[in-house]
Amino acid sequence: MSSSLDYICFKPIGIIHSPFKKTNGTPIQASAADGVKGTVEVFEEYAEGLSGLEDFSHIILLYHFNLSKKAPLKVRPYMDKEEHGVFATRAPSRPNPIGISTVRLLEVKDNLLYIQDMDIVDGTPLLDIKPYVPEFDIRHVEKKGWLENNIHKLDKAKDDGRFRK
């Protein structure tokens, strides 16, 4: 018996342009991509939806990890030598390869968003945009799992291609 939960299809609303032309060497989190600039091209049919976005300093981009290989349920993440369940990591190879980055919004001009502090490969399909609101998005955290002893590696960690197709 088939249900509506068997398959979900998303249509990209735009494309992300960045200086990173391949996965290797790309920062693994937006917080480690300080100063990196790029653009988000929102397709014309969705441009009207950008109205008011210019009033926010930061936005959340949701995108498709289109270059990632099929996900095993246990992975060795970039900042650890041990395997972990994929849902305890931010690895790009996932059952549903969806990425999320909070970036600085510099300017909105027609259907183009000029952004900074980005960790996304050029040509990545954009699925959605949401305004970043600290009162909504920041939570007090008590535990960071396996990252507790590895978070100091973030600034040096780069994509090494292990999750690429």
- Residue 87 is part of which domain span? 14-134+145-153
Residue 106's pLDDT band, with cuts at 50, 70 and 90, is: very high
Q: Is the pLDDT of residue 51 over 90?
A: yes
Please check whether residue 119 lies inside any domain of the structure. Answer: yes
Helix (H, G, I), strand (E, B) or coil at 19: coil
Whether the pLDDT of residue 28 is over 90: the answer is no
Residue 2, domain member (yes or no): no
Residue 117 to residue 103: CA distance in whole angstroms: 6
CATH classification at residue 22: 2.40.30.70
Q: How far is CA 106 from CA 11, 35, 41, 59, 110, in A?
A: 26, 11, 14, 10, 13
Residue 105 has pLDDT above 80, yes or no: yes
Number of structural domains found in the chain: 1
Backbone angles phi, psi at 155, to 5 degrees: -60, -25
| Distance separating alpha carbons of residues 132 and 100, to the nearest angstrom | 12
